[in-house]
Structure 1
Amino acid sequence: MSDSLVNLMIAQESRRPGRIAYRYLATGDCDGEVRELSYGRLGRRSRAIGAWLQERGLAGSRALLLYPPGVEFICGYMGCLSAGVIAVPGVPPQGRRQNHRALTRMRRLIADADVKVILGGRQVIEALDGMAEHLPQLADITCVVTEEIPDEAENSWRAPDIRADSVAFLQYTSGSTSAPRGVTVTHGNLMDNQRVLTKGFGHTPDALAEREGDLFVSWLPVYHDMGLIAPVLNTLYLGATSTLFSPLHFLQRPERWLTAISRYRPHTSGAPNFAYELCLRHATPELMDRLDLRRWRVAFNGAEPVRAATLRRFSDTFAAAGFRREAFLPCYGLAEATLMVSGSSVDAAPTLVGRRDIGSRPGTADAELVGCGRPGPGMTVVIVDGERLEECPEGEVGEIWVAGESVARGYWRNTLATREVFRASLKDGRSGFLRTGDLGFLRNGELFITGRLKDLMVIDGRNHYPQDLELSAETSHPALRPGCTAAFSVEDGALGEQPVVVAEAAPEAAPEFDRITALIRSTIGEAHGLAVRDVVLVSPGTIPKTSSGKIQRRASRTAYLEGTLSVVGSSVGSSVGSSSGSAG
């Protein structure tokens, strides 16, 4: 096996130059325009872009990648690696007008990474011209449309000196609890995590041969670790073929995802939990008649809490189209570990544990926790009492610490944060652990995730995980959008910390907003024994989220306290008396 993705790409090109590496559904539809990128074409374009970067003396510097959905991002990314340039995947601007949050994030990212060049598509680079007022750094940055770099440029390409500890790219964390940080991922990290992914997803030579190399179908954004490391890079790692399309096309019509799986019959396809919920909302009898999901071997679910209720309802609903419950593969990972840490077994039904079994009050909406499998080969996971710095007994909840060759070098140019997060030590002398900030426990060697350390709410002496309250709220009424609810606590005088729920609601449900807020209150009261301080309904698409779609609870809390939420309806608890500090 090659020692870097660059050498691996060259080897794949040599062995199978005509094989399609990636097909891209330009409209999101299988019967629409399909653009294809062969291994031969990928190699040529990567070397051409790499040579252009080398000729300008950019080896070792950072290149921000701003591409619309499509295969050109892959050429730009591999072009950077082929030149010894550190790639920095970024969220592409949407038109000339950008919201304040997106501009602030881009400005911080450019400054933190000390970006020297921006690679992108033609429309994206043109859009940047209108942002100079908000992004003054652009005056000192070279912006290039990579489609305009001629193929002949590859003739001057020189193979870079790549070692295992050479930095491949910076994966900026999604910023769910803090300002974005650049995770420094080396070539060795990438290759090791490809090994973990391949084993964890059961991507054996026989499995690929059965499907004539069709590996993934994915709409996941490629600038995010899950969409890049799994469907894009694992395809290259194995010399397979994958089908990609835009996240926007999925959100517009979720059935496109299942239709593509039915058409191309990949081994693996997956997404965060909310995507399965969206599919359930669009599951019509007519759709079932058109789908054939019998060949879908691995349906991974990760990046946000995996819901037992979702797995059960999806399996029951799409069984009519041939979907098997055993195809579900809940998994756990994070950018700081390149991507995958653990995953459940292929062809085995997910493991469920009742909350009563771990001494936690069960909620009616989510009374079970879903196992995320055993750590991948070479990965070590321990559950730690963060105050005592001692390993917790089996079944006890603590912070998840991880070690292994996939764990990244640290945070880019942030020595203090790197030492705190990537260099953790236990009292017994074991060292070199990554502190994930996630809470969970191990049972029979399998990892269960219970929440985020910093998001944990302690109310009346009891621990409450915000994702549990969010699920209870979302399931109380169909007008509430899945994956678009934020729960957090605020200080309320003598009452101490009290819970607040902010949820996006469909505008057409406006006549029922009072009833919806009452339902949220009663559902959370029954499921969790909590009186909610305030329930706020907001416009769709306005709750702060990370680039990967995770709820930013701290940002939501700040917006609530500052009165900047896009409120369409609210209900203040009777114990509060007034909505001091409330957005509603």
Structure 2
Amino acid sequence: MASLVDVLTTHASQQPDRIAYRYLVTGDCDGALQEITYARLARRSRAVAAWLQDRGLAGSRALLLYPSGLEFISGYLGCLSARVVAVPGVPPQGRAHNHRALTRMRRLIADAEPAVVLGGREVVAALDEMARDLPELSDLPRVVTEDIPDDAADGWRAPDLTADSVAFLQYTSGSTSAPKGVVVTHGNLLDNERVITERMGHTPDTIEEYGGELVLSWLPMYHDMGLIGPVLNTVHLGLTTTLFSPLHFLQRPERWLTAISRFRPHTSGGPNFAYELCLKHATPELVDSLDLSSWKVAFNGAEPVRAATLRRFTGTFAPAGFRREAFYPCYGLAEATVMVTGGSVDTSPVLLEPADAAAHTGAADAAAIGCGRPGPGVTLVVADPEQGVELPEGEVGEIWVSGASVAKGYWRNALATRQTFRATMAGHEGRFLRTGDLGFLRSGELFVTGRLKDLMVVDGRNHYPQDLELAAEMCHPALRPGCTAAFSVDAGVEGELPVLVAEVAPEAADEAEKITDLVRAAIGDAHGLAVHDVVLVHPGTIPKTSSGKIQRRACRAAYRDGTLSTVGAPATG
């Protein structure tokens, strides 16, 4: 089959009455449910597709702005069914007329140049208000796909799709002045679904054992891990999957575990912080009420996997039937569609104790967790990032990946595509994706140790230090432009926490407390981040390269060592 459109057509024909998705409207198992069968899913997708086709939009982009729910899935598959390139975006939430939401929307529209916005009724109403402050949005047609009648599906024409046809653009979640849309083809999608299926043990026997109900997810559908994993693997295999909103999970993390206990999936997961949230809400009464024995793949990815989290989660929820072997660290990125490596089902994660890990990571107080092995057809090499040559096993270098899951490149960004997707290596055929992540291999197992660049991952979201530095520098005239360093520090079970170090004019020393408060407020408003620590230092003391670039790693090392030349007393959050 050439695409997931063909796969959906087959399921709608062979098992029309099977539930494809079950959505917990309130996040509670005993609350309202929405369900959609494969026949209905195909018809709703075709209705959206026919609407797009009738307006001559094949080949153009459609910006998808939906809350979590079934309508997003119909809209996304509708785009694929019309040969329209889907562009999932973060929908406005609540009163989203703030600077951060408008800036993000403006950058996305400018880069993707969508021809239409598809969304739910409440989102489109919010967009109508936002259009007053966002001229780029005011000229775009905005369509409530729920209002497209079912009968429109009768006019649908099957698109001419090939493996090289572009399916969607996945924009990275970090806030940056130059957003990059990863160009994912239909061939990339099908190949990565094959990788997910194999690595996570979604075999025909397992599907039969679980009655086709393998997956449960609260992950955002507009991000790669939530979309390509739970949502699209469902269509790929013809499963029934239970979904609910990430907002409902964040409000009450125990809903996730309660839903697993109720619907008994094989596979469910999230970033490391999600497991920590569950631990914070783990009362004896909750543990006593749960049965987690069906949970075979508790995947953990998108941010550093913590050995302490795995130990504590297993210890806390073992009385509820959770097994250490269920923990499933994995590694992936949007540029490789999503999944690159994963563990083995029913096998404990590979752990290097601190003394052993220190030889690779340089951190003497932290264990290292293996993120599994490459999926079938995926080639993973650890390379010297400067020389572009393969490093021996055990040496830390940049992770390079090749295979049919590696995306086409960045949307309309030839330079970044060439730098990231076109690497070559002696002794290996074809081209490699340079991930920008650092790691090493040991007996075929990948250990991820950090990032070649300074991207920060806080609570599962990407943040670029340059953006935080700019927000800080603009909040007070005493802060010296180009003399600010943002980085994250590892706070153990709390995950990565952001720190801001800024050079300040000597005459402003008496205002240190006020400046610190302004920095916190500026970064909180612009990026939704609570800064762990703000440190003001004397002019000329932040480490820089000979060409004047901030050396964030050196600044982080000085912060950890307590050798920064501070002005006044540093404020700790």
Distance 1:277 1:206 in 2: 32
Q: CA–CA distance in 2 between the matches of 1:144 and 1:333?
A: 33
Number of residue pairs matched by the alignment: 513
Q: Is residue 2:498 matched to residue 1:486? A: yes
Amino acid at match of 1:213: G
User: Following TM superposition, by how much is the alpha carbon of 1:431 offset from its aligned partner in structure 2, in angstroms?
Assistant: 4.2
Which residue matches 2:567? Answer: 578
Superposition pairs of residues 36-435 of structure 1, within 5 angstroms: 36-175=35-174, 179-357=178-356, 358-359=358-359, 360-364=361-365, 367-427=366-426, 430-435=429-434
Question: Do the aligned residues in 2 keep the contact of 1:381 with 1:402 (CA within 8 Å)?
Answer: yes
Q: Any conservation in 2 of the 1:20–1:37 contact (CA below 8 Å)?
A: yes
The structure-2 alpha-carbon separation of the partners of 1:429 and 1:319, relative to structure 1 and needing over 3 Å to count, comes to closer
**Contact 2:291/2:321, CA 8 A, preserved across alignment:** yes
CA 1:192 to 1:178, structure 2 compared with 1: closer, same or farther past 3 Å? farther
Tell me how far 1:425 sits from its aligned partner: 1.5
CA distance 1:304–1:417, shift in 2 (3 Å): same
Q: Rate the CA distance shift 1:539–1:198 in 2: closer, same or farther, 3 A.
A: farther
Structure 1 residues 513-524: aligned runs within 5 Å: none
User: In the alignment, residue 237 of structure 1 is paired with which amino acid?
Assistant: H
Q: Is the 8 A contact 1:118 1:143 kept in 2?
A: yes
- Cα offsets for 1:314-372 (capped at 9, x unmatched): 011100100000001100000000000000111000001134325244354xx101000
Cα 1:226–1:136 shift into 2, 3 Å? same
Is the CA contact (8 Å cut-off) linking 2:132 and 2:138 kept in structure 1?
A: no
Separation of aligned partners in 1, 2:533 and 2:415 = 27
Closer/same/farther in 2, CA of residues 558 and 3 from structure 1, 3 Å limit: farther
Amino acid at match of 2:378: M
Output the TM-score relative to the length of structure 1. Answer: 0.82
Secondary structure of the structure 2 residue equivalent to 1:450: strand
Deviates more, 1:125-134 or 1:193-202: 125-134
What's the counterpart of residue 506 of structure 1? none
For the aligned residues, what is the CA RMSD? 3.3
Q: CA deviation at 1:573?
A: 6.6
Distance 2:261 2:497 in 1: 31
CA contact (8 A) 2:333 2:340 kept: yes
Q: Which one-letter code corresponds to 2:276 in the other structure?
A: E
Q: Any residues of structure 2 matched to 1:466-481 within 5 Å, and which?
A: 469-472=489-492
Q: 1:559 to 1:170 in 2, by over 3 A?
A: farther
TM-score (norm 2): 0.83
Q: Residues 325 and 349 of structure 1 are in contact (CA less than 8 Å); yes or no, is this contact kept in structure 2?
A: yes
Residue deviations 1:368-410, cap 9 Å, x none? 0100011000000111111111111110100100000000000
**CA distance change for structure 1 residues 581 and 540 in 2, over 3 Å: closer, same or farther?**
closer
What is the aligned-residue identity percentage? Answer: 64
Corresponding letter in the other structure for 1:471: A
Letter aligned with residue 491 of structure 2? L
Cα distance between partner residues in 2 of 1:583 and 1:261 = 38
| 1:77-118 C-alpha deviation (Å, 9 max, x unpaired) | 000000010000000011343321221111111111111100
In the alignment, the residues of structure 1 paired with residue 6 and residue 207 of structure 2 have an alpha-carbon distance, to the nearest angstrom, of 22
Shift of 1:30: 0.1
Contact persistence 1:560–1:582 (CA under 8 A):
no
1:425–1:432 Cα contact (<8 Å) kept? yes
Structure 2: how far apart are the matches of 1:580 and 1:423? 48
Deviations 1:467-519 (A, max 9, x none): 6x3224xx5xxxxxx447214666799xxxxxxxxxxxxxxxxxxxx9xxxxx
Q: Which amino acid aligns with 2:498?
A: A
**Which residue does 1:26 correspond to in 2?**
25
Name the structure 2 match of 1:13: 12
Secondary structure class of the residue paired with 1:63: strand
| Distance in 2 (alpha carbons) for counterparts of 1:164 and 1:192 | 10
Q: Relative to structure 2, which stretch is displaced further, 71-80 or 171-180?
A: 171-180
Asked if the contact 1:371–1:449 (Cα under 8 Å) also holds between the matched residues in 2, the reply is yes
For structure 1, the residue ranges without an aligned partner over 5 or more in a row are: 458-464, 476-481, 494-513, 515-533, 562-570
Instruction: Mark the CA change 1:177 to 1:304 in structure 2 (over 3 Å): closer, same or farther.
Output: farther
What is the CA–CA distance in structure 1 between the aligned matches of 2:414 and 2:117, rounded to whole Å?
A: 26
- How many Å separate the matches in 2 of 1:336 and 1:145? 30
Residues 543/181 of structure 1: CA separation in 2 closer, same or farther (3 Å cut): same
C-alpha distance in 2, partners of 1:389/1:355?
A: 29
Q: 1:353 touches 1:370 (CA, 8 Å); kept in 2?
A: yes
- The equivalent residue for 1:542 is 524
> What is the distance in 1 between the residues matched to 2:452 and 2:175?
12
Contact residue 44 and residue 74 of structure 2 kept, 8 A: yes
Checking the alignment, whether the CA contact within 8 Å between 2:378 and 2:402 is kept in structure 1 is yes
Q: Is the 8 A contact 1:68 1:92 kept in 2?
A: yes
Unaligned runs of 5+ in 2: 457-485, 506-512, 539-559
Contact 2:189–2:337 (Cα < 8 Å) also in 1: yes
What secondary structure sits across from 2:341 in the alignment?
Answer: strand
Q: Is the 8 A contact 2:399 2:438 kept in 1?
A: yes
Secondary structure class of the residue paired with 2:340: strand
